[in-house]
Chain A
Amino acid sequence: METLVFALLNGVIYGLLLFMLSSGLTLIFSMMGVLNFAHASFYMLGAYLAFTIMEGTSFWIALFLAPVLVGLVGMVVERYGLRRVHAQGHVAELLFTFGLAYLIDEVVKIFWGRTAVNYRVPELLDFPLFTLYGAQYPAYRIFILFVAAFMLVALWYLLKKTRAGLIIQAALTHPHMVGSLGHNVPLIFMSVFGVGCALAGLAGVIGGNYFVTDPAMAVQMGPIVFVVVVVGGLGSLEGAFVAAMLIGLLQTSAISINASLADIFGFLGLGPHTEVGEITIASMAPMLPFLLLVLILMIRPRGLMGEREV
């Protein structure tokens, strides 16, 4: 029971963080038709900017300022980089974001060094909130939960309930029509790209001190985010949400399971002391998202809720 409760709590928080990252990516994908390889780098940028702003001022200023800065960087990238490359077709765009990811990586290493920075949880939130089955639960984790939930609701409201959201949705699928109606489509694209990057930046701000802020964080997070977007269905926000939750829960609960492959497939004659039988479910946790990716692509290539094929 206690294992289940903790796995659920941690899984939901990890899943929400993943969703915050992948929501921007999936929006940008619907818009450009190309996966943004640099997306996880904006996540890293958010964490590092928050670290620097926090050193000078406070975490609360960083919480607002860092995502805005990352969003601005994203807008500049879209306006002066991607828009020009766009004329050369999808391959050029893909290569552009690929190069950008490496560029941001190197810039981060030059400015902040090659090792992890000491980006800490703010003191105000650095206390155990409650005790559950003998283990304390840090307040900061619940804070992440609230920020992510707030962002989720705000994003949903923006896209589904406001006029701006209506135009964005229309521009994603029918840009020419929206342009003919007198809306500034390039501006919409730039804003969506900026907001997508800002969301990644926000995930960096609250995820950087929950995990570790180091130059490898983009490379480590990048593949998982792609898995979320592909499993959820390219371009589907709802799908990304379901997939992020699924992967978050799957990964955390797998670690909590005290079983080996032999315990599960023992009925097939797999012995507990064979090479394969000794593998524990917990040690397979890092592999599970990618297993899910392969399975989804085989069984349902357009993802859980996607409308088009990959």
Chain B
Amino acid sequence: MKSTVKAALAAAVSLCAVTAAQAETIKMAFIDPLSGAMASSGEPAYQSFILAAEHINANGGVNGDMIEVVGYDNKVSPKESLVQLQKAIDSGARYILQGNGSSVAAAIIDAVNKHNQRNPGEEVLFFNYAAVTPEFTNEACSFWHFRFDAHTDMKMNGITDWIAARDDIKKVYLIGQDYVHGEAVAHAAETQLAAKRPDIEIVGNELHPLAKVKDFTPYVQKIISSGADAVITGNWGQDMTLLVKASADAGQQIPYLTFYGGSNGAVAALGDGAVDTLYQVSELAANMEGVSPEQNALVEEYKARFPDYDYYYHRAFVALNMFDAAAEKAGSNDPIDVAYALEGLSIEDGYGTATMRAEDHQIQQPLYITTVAHDMTYPVDNTDLGWRLVEGGTISAEAAMEPSTCEMQRPE
């Protein structure tokens, strides 16, 4: 009798072991601000990754394995991020998701490079979904890093092309956050404007402290007194929202050309003042014609699940879908196999074809210049305003493409 129980137990245990081996979890560590001033950027991204993972899991997972996204709060600090990165790796995460802050991304790339060199067989991949400093896919490129967002120079090309076609813009003001990203944006704007419209005068080039400014009124007053016809900014998170809030308070009516005008709350802060003054260049054009019903359903599902935010981090879905496709193509969930399979991979994405360029691990996809308009199918910030594609605002993947100086070192 006793032996039968033992046998049954043993059988049960081994059965458990077998099922566990069949469906393992792929741990993905999401390291970004989940508290403080920039949490309004981190939180919706986290939710986007969770939703993307749920969709993949519901469709049978990645080679049968389930994705689990775990959040680690880094408070936008590179130092804190490295602590969280170590915690994540120790808990078994082999895939790192991060995007808010190029200063943080630089630290993670460096740490991941070192980790992979020291721990062969336990490699970690870094999926960067928003840190856009061009260096990461140029001179500082790494085999372990993949960027799922267009970088500064690519986005700036869209903005400067738009400005070049507008003869009424003679003076441009640059304002940005005082760290590597803000500097890169200002540099790109200066060089590209000088090439495309040498007659344009840059009347201000201001860098303010990152996530510290509570009242942008003095900055906006400076912009007004400079007589600028347009403002270019790479601000994100609270720095974006508060900047346009101060601009709206001052009744300013000039175009703001932004990377992240879609930051949560920016449109609401401007209200009607956002119409045809707030512009954004991104991979997302939610109200564009010809988007597949599946993609529109996803936008609706996101809003229903997370009513505080809007569908904004499309690139989170692109990143996980490409990961899924790469892993299935390789027939393995091991980071090195996935990395090789990702190189050159193309997927049909909701708003166009996305390709991971092999030479520098920089995604290539169409970009869209959008501005705020009334009566959109998918409004944002719980207003009736939404993002409308501007005329001629589609930048094809080929047009957005930038050359790279990357000399990729691949493991054998």
User: Do the two chains bind?
Assistant: yes
A residues lining the B interface (CB < 8 Å)? 2-3, 6-7, 10, 14, 109, 114-116, 118, 128, 131, 133-138, 210-212, 214-216, 220, 252, 255-256, 258, 280, 282-283, 286
Q: Which of B37, B43, B209 makes the CB contact (< 8 A) with A216?
A: B37
Q: Does B110 contact A (CB under 8 A)?
A: no
| Total CB contacts across the A-B interface at under 8 A | 78
- The 3 residue pairs across chains A and B that have the minimum distance between CB atoms: A136-B251, A211-B214, A114-B35
Contact code string B275-303 (vs A, CB < 8 Å = 1, else 0): 00000000000000000000000000000
A14 to B206 CA separation, bound complex (whole angstroms): 22
Whether A114 lies near B225 (C-beta < 8 A) is: no
Whether A215 lies near B35 (C-beta < 8 A) is: yes
Q: Does B219 contact A (CB under 8 A)?
A: yes
Nearest Cβ in chain B — how far from A117, in angstroms? 11
A115 to B75 CA separation, bound complex (whole angstroms): 12
Inter-chain contacts of B35 with A (CB < 8 A): 109, 114-115, 215
Known: A210-B215, A255-B218. Contact between A283 and B36, CB under 8 A?
Answer: no
B residues lining the A interface (CB < 8 Å)? 34-37, 39-40, 43, 178, 204, 206-209, 212, 214-215, 217-222, 224-225, 238, 242, 249-252, 265
Inter-chain contacts of A286 with B (CB < 8 A): 209, 212
Whether A135 lies near B252 (C-beta < 8 A) is: yes
Whether B178 lies near A283 (C-beta < 8 A) is: yes
Whether B221 lies near A3 (C-beta < 8 A) is: yes
Say whether chain B's binding surface is mostly helix, strand, loop, or mixed: mixed
Inter-chain contacts of B215 with A (CB < 8 A): 10, 14, 210-211
Q: Which of A10, A114, A116 makes the CB contact (< 8 A) with B34?
A: A114
Whether B250 lies near A136 (C-beta < 8 A) is: yes
Inter-chain contacts of B209 with A (CB < 8 A): 283, 286
A196 to B40 CA separation, bound complex (whole angstroms): 33
Inter-chain contacts of B178 with A (CB < 8 A): 283
Say whether chain A's binding surface is mostly helix, strand, loop, or mixed: mixed
Nearest Cβ in chain B — how far from A123, in angstroms? 12
Inter-chain contacts of B207 with A (CB < 8 A): 283
Closest to A207 in B: B214
A215 to B219 CA separation, bound complex (whole angstroms): 24
Known: A3-B221, A10-B217. Contact between A116 and B249, CB under 8 A?
Answer: no
A-B contact pairs, 14 of them (CB 8 A): A6-B218, A7-B218, A135-B252, A137-B250, A138-B249, A210-B215, A212-B37, A212-B242, A214-B37, A216-B36, A255-B222, A256-B218, A282-B206, A283-B208
Inter-chain contacts of A283 with B (CB < 8 A): 178, 207-209
A211 to B216 CA separation, bound complex (whole angstroms): 9
Known: A3-B221, A212-B242. Contact between A116 and B37, CB under 8 A?
Answer: yes
Known: A134-B224, A135-B250, A138-B249. Contact between A116 and B218, CB under 8 A?
Answer: no
A131 to B251 CA separation, bound complex (whole angstroms): 9
A118 to B265 CA separation, bound complex (whole angstroms): 9
Inter-chain contacts of B251 with A (CB < 8 A): 128, 131, 135-136
- Most chain A CB neighbours (cut-off 10 Å) among B39, B43, B204, B215: B215
Closest to B382 in A: A118
Nearest Cβ in chain B — how far from A40, in angstroms? 13
Closest to A109 in B: B35
Inter-chain contacts of A220 with B (CB < 8 A): 212, 214
